[in-house]
Structure 1
Amino acid sequence: MIELAFTPEDYRRIRFAFSPVAETVASLRTLSLDQSGGLHGPWLATVRRRLDGVDLELLTSLVRPTGYVPDFLVPTPAGRTTTIESSLEQVAAAATDVVAAELAHLAQHRVAQQGPGRARRAALMRDLLADPERAMTRIVSELERYWHAAVAPHWPRVHALLQADLAHRLDELATGGVTRLFRTLHPSVAMRGDLLTIVKYYEGRAQLRGRGLLLVPCAFVWPDVQVSTADPLPSLKYSPRGLGRLWESAPGTAEPPLAAVIGRTRAMILALLELPMSTTQLAAQLDLSAPTLNVHLRSLRAAGILTTRRDGRAVLYHRTPLGDQLLAGS
């Protein structure tokens, strides 16, 4: 178990963000574990045939199935969200002495280096450490190639899920403070006094020291949580709510009784709105154009089944109690 010790300043500096490079790195661990019967099985079933030309030996040597992941691979996002281009620019800008130190730590990490192929990984690490600047160019190039093959085709759907989770977590924080936020974040996470405890395979306590904590919803981190205490900002990656429906092509294959009354598309919209979502997020989930979707949303809102609220520039739709009752009855 690891403990993160909060000061009053740390509570004030809790923030949320997600990034495509964090999902890219986490997905490499999912790929290495190769649990085809697990939650990400549908993704695994399609992704391997797209990876010709990607240096998987390099990438899976950097991101092992368990254990340490170099911090330079997952830089802190500049804002609540970012693009893959700006994320990779941050990776490329990592100081070479930091890169060398983290690669050397990875090469000696007892848990990360378990499993077959250790000699080949050791030789690869020696090659990378011989010229960290050249190594970074190679790593960033392969991460970008892997992103386009494995994650980018699914990014609109993943992005919608992460946005919906952020909206929910901010509501939790506003409604019940940090106690409620951490109580519902993940079964491995608990707040005890000023200590945030996370169940891990190792023991330790880290002082946040007023740096705050970055909370990062990450689809591919499931079922684990990942903790980093590195400067400038410690982070905790966790699975977003609603992850179980990420790879569904539709909310359900069987035609619900409600669909006979309000139509299949509107029934699917109601089923998806367990968490508030914008038009863009819903369109990505349902593979509908925004104008088509807006016709359905206006009708559902006029009937009192949906309502809206503004979150910054976005308008979020969510079910009313009447919508909950209709879905529960169906």
Structure 2
Amino acid sequence: MKYLFILSVVLLVSASACKKEALTPEPPLIQRKYKLPEIDLSNWKVTLPISNSSGKPVEVEPPEILSYATNEQLLPFMYNDSTDAALVFYTYPESSTANSSYSRTELREQMVPGSNNTNWTFDQGGRMRGTLAVEDISSDGDGKPHRTIIMQIHGRLTNEQRDLIGEDDNNAPPILKIYWNDGKVRVKTKVLKDLNASDTEILHTAAWGDDEGRNFSTIVGHEKFTLEVVASAGRLEVTLNDDETFVYGDVHMQKWSVFENYFKAGNYLATTDDGAYATVKYYDLEVTHD
């Protein structure tokens, strides 16, 4: 009888526990919202910090770049953050282009997909607008964050100009570089060293020097910010967060009209330090031409 009583109690407790468990609702599943960035890459190619079989940086053009989310070569350097609706550009020092010692994961505008030969002049005009954030970046030996270039307007020689001055490629200086520099946005442009230089002399890269540079007053840190660049005849405007604008409309911009140009955007890390890296996120990016 004693054992039967104990068994009855155990069965009652078990039944009660099962009933309580059955009445207790399951906790709701956490609903995660995934959103992909809405950036059209149809008119962009990307340069990576790794080399191809010829020892040059790997480049991926349209239409292959459109499949970046499944491209094994691109995935370490250019990928989606679907929890943040961002396109991520990651880079570190390794392979660099012929005219630079720095590596990059950076987009280059192609007005005709797959070709570098069609570009635009300031007289024709162009506008680039993007929202981005420098999520993470390494520091130097003194603890100061490295710099990275996040937007550019790069000059280009026509084939005729290239042949005229005896160059072996179409490279011309970048008229605009926009840096993330220790939490600030810094703008650098080119200036003609000799205003009396001939139309042929100004085609040489050595004819152009750097201006002193300007910092926007807003400290962006690692938060989102928006940049807009507008180029027109003899004029360049750079605006941060639709609030503060730098305007360049002097003789140097007027002289620049001799060059073709293309936009660039991404992560161009301005250091060769061992162990350096940078992660830049783009939330939107748009280019238009009149």
TM-score where L is the length of structure 1: 0.20
TM-score, normalising length: structure 2:
0.22
Q: Which has the higher helix share?
A: 1
Q: Pick the structure with more strand per residue.
A: 2
